[in-house]
């Protein structure tokens, strides 16, 4: 297992442990804060939302299950440009940024890693977490963009 995959699995375990013991009064390392931005608009704010600790753990686990890829230059066209996720572990001061677009997941932490996601599961899953935040027409439009890549 690669160092990054081990880091991702470790973060997932911390998130799950924090979620499982949150109501017990035991002291544990807090789950990372995970904020998502749907990179879509120019000239107006993009939709943003926060993931629950359980969703952050799911995301980390999903990425840990992907195959590594050589570095990729992701394009930045007008319109849909994927999802940007910020994982902030306040306790340790570490921040990781994740970009999921066109079946590629770019993980920028202590180093930069790329993963292939040919079924675009990460993008589809992140879009599903936006369901309470964005309207149905926008949801369907982005889903069509993901499918058409």
Higher pLDDT, 3 or 96: 96
Q: Mind listing the pLDDT tens digit for each residue in 11-53?
A: 443 444 344 434 434 344 556 789 999 999 998 999 999 999 9
Other CB atoms within 10 Å distance of the CB of residue 130: 18
Q: Mind listing the pLDDT tens digit for each residue in 86-121?
A: 998 766 778 999 999 999 999 998 899 999 999 999
């Amino acid at each position: 297992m690669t160092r990054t995959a081990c880091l991702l699995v470790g973060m997932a375990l911390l998130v799950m442990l924090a979620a499982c013991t949150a109501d017990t009064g035991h002291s544990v390392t807090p789950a990372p804060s995970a904020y998502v931005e749907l990179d879509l608009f120019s000239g107006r704010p993009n939709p943003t939302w926060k993931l629950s600790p359980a969703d952050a753990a799911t995301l980390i686990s999903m990425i840990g299950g992907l195959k590594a890829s050589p570095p990729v230059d992701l394009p930045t066209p007008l319109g849909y440009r994927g999802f940007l996720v910020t994982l902030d572990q306040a306790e340790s001061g570490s921040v990781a940024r994740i970009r999921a677009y066109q079946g590629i997941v770019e993980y920028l932490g202590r180093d930069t890693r790329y993963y292939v996601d040919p079924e675009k599961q990460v993008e589809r899953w992140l879009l599903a977490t936006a369901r309470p935040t964005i309207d149905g027409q926008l949801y369907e439009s982005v889903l069509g963009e993901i499918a058409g890549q």
